[in-house]
Amino acid sequence: MIIKNLGKTVLFTSVPNLIIELKEAMSMQQLTSYKRKFEKYDLVILDELGYISFDKTGCEILFNLLSNRNDKGSIIITTNLTFDR
């Protein structure tokens, strides 16, 4: 879900859905384009981290996506796991 408020763009999505989108973009050779679009949001809210586990490829592309965004905009990650997990 993309929200525009006060001139700011916000992406709200679940981590499992994000990984599915990333894998689809990768299979269509559009991962670079997806990453550029992802970096343009003022805020990204990722919900349900740890809700389901995902494979090594999913972990790697998620880590890469988040590390590329690290200095470009804010990220909020929610989870229902305890902090020690």
Instruction: Establish if 84 belongs to a structural domain.
Output: no
CA nearest to 12, candidates 59, 48, 52: 48
d(CA 38, CA 73): 10
- Is the pLDDT score of 65 beyond 90? yes
**Which of the residue ranges 16-20, 22-26, 29-33, 80-84 would you say has the lowest mean pLDDT?**
80-84
Q: At residue 4, what is the residue type?
A: K
Instruction: Establish if 83 belongs to a structural domain.
Output: no
Count of all residues that appear for the chain in the document: 85
Instruction: Establish if 8 belongs to a structural domain.
Output: yes
pLDDT band at 28 (very low <50, low <70, confident <90, very high): very high
Domain of 12: which CATH number?
A: 3.40.50.300
Q: What pLDDT, on a 0 to 100 scale, did the predictor assign at position 82?
A: 74
| Domain residue limits at 42 | 2-77
Residue spans of alpha helices (H) in the chain: 15-27, 31-39, 56-69
pTM of the model: 0.83
Total number of domains constituting the chain: 1
Instruction: Establish if 41 belongs to a structural domain.
Output: yes
| Mean pLDDT score of the chain | 89
**Rg from Cα positions in the chain:** 13
For the ranges 18-32, 37-51, 53-67, the one whose mean pLDDT is highest: 18-32
Instruction: Establish if 48 belongs to a structural domain.
Output: yes
